Structure formats: C-alpha cells, structure tokens
C-alpha cells in the first residue's frame, strides 16, 4: 500500500509529510492534475504518531480532527481543511501538530459517519456537537464500556433509518 511504502520503505514518520506524500501517490494513481473534468476522488483521514518516552503525540488530519480528553476536559486539534487527493489547496502542505500528553489521557480519531447519521425523533443528523458530548461522558470509562456505549447510542439514534455512511471511532488510552 502507499502508506506502507511511505512509512516503512521511505522511513517518513512526520504525520504531515506522510499525508503530503500520500496525496502525491493518490493523485498519481488517479491521474489527477486538478483539471475541471477529472475525478475528484480523495479521502479524509487523521494520522498520529506517539512517542511514549517523550510523551509527545504528533497529529495531522485531512478534514478529520483529533480529540483529546484529560478527564472530561476536551482539547480539540483541528485538521487541515483539505482532503488527501485533489482539493482546492492541493499545493498546500499538511501541518503536523505536537501534543504533550499525560498518563490516562484519552484520544479519539474518527470518520464523520457517527455525526452524520440520520435518526432521532425528527430524522435529523446526530451532529458533531452531540458526538463530542457522548465522548466527554464516556472518556473516563474502560475501553470495552466505551465501545458498548457508542454502539448502543448509535443504534438508538439510528432507529429504523438506514446507516448513512461508514462509522469509525478509534479511541486510545495513553499510558
């Protein structure tokens, strides 16, 4: 895969540079030059590297943010507003953010599928704010309980509506 080639063969470890290189590979594979009539395929993603010894997390995102909870206190690290692939700012480099972390901090990276799910009494989207509120509540729980809570809340919200999109929520308790 492109990611394997970039990280393991080229030995690139800075998340922003990894996303820059991934964008180049995707543009090359899809023959994207930025012209009006060509495919605009790409992807949103979040990428982290963690240095346990130095207690530093490095993050870069293509539309997908990183959420860090220290207890129930939330710090949100904003992603760059561009995809991996063709986008408005295709020549702009992705940024890498350095985050000092503490033992038991909880981080989350995720797709937009949870927040974009239609449901509830009015058939509306769950929304990003509601998603962050759930994470705030469950972030102090053990990971298996967090998973159960996220699944239960999602299914309750979705009800009989079809699932709108892929749903990925990845949580990591830092040690």
Band the pLDDT of 43: cuts 50, 70, 90: confident
Q: What is the pLDDT of residues 104-163, one digit of tens each?
A: 999 999 999 999 999 999 999 999 999 999 999 999 999 999 999 999 999 999 999 999
The count of domains in the chain is 1
Half-sphere exposure of 118 (CA within 13 A, CB side): 9
Helix (H) or strand (E) holding 170: strand 169-173
Q: What is the pLDDT of residues 88-101, one digit of tens each?
A: 556 789 999 999 99
For residue 156, the enclosing domain spans: 2-173
- Asked if residue 67 has pLDDT above 80, the reply is yes
Residue 56 clears pLDDT 60, i.e. is over it = yes
Cα distance between residue 78 and residue 140, in whole Å: 22
- pLDDT tens for residues 2-41? 999 999 999 999 999 999 999 989 888 877 776 666 566 6
Q: What is the CATH number of the domain that holds 162?
A: 3.60.40.10
Please report the pLDDT score of residue 88 as a whole number: 56
Q: How far apart are CA 62 and CA 168, in angstroms?
A: 15
**What's the whole-model pTM score?**
0.90
């Amino acid at each position: 895969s492109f990611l394997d080639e970039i990280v393991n063969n080229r030995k690139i470890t800075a998340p922003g540079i990894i996303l820059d290189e991934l964008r180049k590979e995707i543009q090359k594979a899809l023959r994207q030059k930025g012209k009006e009539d060509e495919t605009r395929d790409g992807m949103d993603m979040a990428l982290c590297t963690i240095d346990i010894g130095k207690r530093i997390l490095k993050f870069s995102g293509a539309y997908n943010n990183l959420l860090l909870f220290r207890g129930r206190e939330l710090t949100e690290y904003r992603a760059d507003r561009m995809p991996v692939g063709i986008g408005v700012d295709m020549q702009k480099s992705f940024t890498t953010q350095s985050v000092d972390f503490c033992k038991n901090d909880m981080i989350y990276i995720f797709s937009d599928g949870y927040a974009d799910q239609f449901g509830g009494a009015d058939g509306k989207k769950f929304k990003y704010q509601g998603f962050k509120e759930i994470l705030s509540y469950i972030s102090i729980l053990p990971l298996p309980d967090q998973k159960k809570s996220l699944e239960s809340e999602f299914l309750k919200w979705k009800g009989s509506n079809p699932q709108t999109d892929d749903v990925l929520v990845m949580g990591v308790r830092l040690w």
